Amino acid sequence: MRSGSVLRLGVAATIAAGLLLAPAPTRAADDGGPFGVGLVVGSPFGIALKYYLGRSGHAVDFVIGDAVAGARGILVHADYLWHPAVVLRERAFDLPVYVGIGARLLDHDRSRIDGDDDFHVGARVPAGLLFDFKELPLEVFAESALVLDFRVGDERGHGGFGLDLNVGVGGRYYF
């Protein structure tokens, strides 16, 4: 079997297993309200907002900050998230997984390094884990997102498509 077929089979098996697990609760949103504010550290580094859309396990998130790794610059992204499953239930917290799709804007500025200064518009596919605390309106998360960017050409004419990976950890307080 080719490596591409193995990869596709692995991705399909992972998605199927996730869908078979129990539906994910939204305890942080239930205990403190649907709106969370916090911080994400990694790439990006910035303010993380999230709003749960009822009790369906669906939410939208928004981050504004600095893309500290690789393509430095001001970054804004927004994602539609789905929390399909809980992988662990403990007395103090639940551990749901989430996946989503979204968009990112990045004003990339490496002018101090190599004169490269351009603007990126991209599609994001995030996935992550939440530590959803039962006694506090707080969640802690770890997330990675694959980003397909279109780089608008800079003054030297550089442009085109590229891939990026965002990885971060953070937390949000709900009210």
> For residues 99 and 158, which has the higher predicted lDDT (pLDDT)?
99
Condensed to tens digits (0 to 9), the pLDDT of residues 137-155 reads 999 999 999 999 888 865 5
Condensed to tens digits (0 to 9), the pLDDT of residues 4-23 reads 444 455 555 554 444 444 44
What CATH code is assigned to 3-174?
2.40.160
> Global pTM?
0.76
- Please provide residue 15's backbone torsions phi and psi, each rounded to the nearest 5 degrees: -65, -45
DSSP 112: T
Q: Name, in order, each residue with C-beta under 8 angstroms of 129's C-beta and a sequence gap of 6 or more.
A: 87, 95, 96, 97, 98, 141, 142, 143
**Residue 115: Cβ-neighbour burial (10 angstroms; 0-12, 13-18, 19+):** exposed
DSSP 105: E
| Domain boundary assignment for the chain | 3-174
